[in-house]
Amino acid sequence: MRSLLALLIMTLTLAVLCCCEKDPKEPLGPISTDSIKIKKEVANAFVKRQKRSSLYERYFEYYKSPMEQMHERCENYPPCDYLSDQIGFSLAYNRFFGRY
């Protein structure tokens, strides 16, 4: 019985030593940025854009609402963009472009 137990302990010890050994393929130094980069085709295959299915969503993808157009007009004009951060969009838009 003792010899069987000793044999089992030796087998388990050798199995642990074999499994816990460091991987020889793993670099010992710091990881370089070249090993992190992936090809463009692989990245595009991984991240796919979900297609829009309804006509309503497709319409709003191409045509912007009037309020969104006003926001973009204000964002493209630096004084309006800066002032909108201070006092709000509607007041800044009224000051530079008049009533909406």
Q: What is the DSSP string of 1-64?
A: -HHHHHHHHHHHHHHHHHHTSPPTTS-SSPPPGGGT---HHHHHHHS-PPPP-SHHHHHHHHS-
Q: Residue 64 CA to chain centroid, in angstroms?
A: 26
For 49, list phi and psi in degrees, rounded to 5. -80, 135
**Each residue's pLDDT tens digit, 72-96:** 999 999 999 999 999 999 999 999 9
Instruction: Enter the pTM of the model.
Output: 0.41
Cα angle vertex 81, ends 79, 87, to 5°? Answer: 95
pLDDT, tens digit, for every residue of 7-53?
888 888 877 777 766 655 665 556 666 667 777 777 777 676 666 56
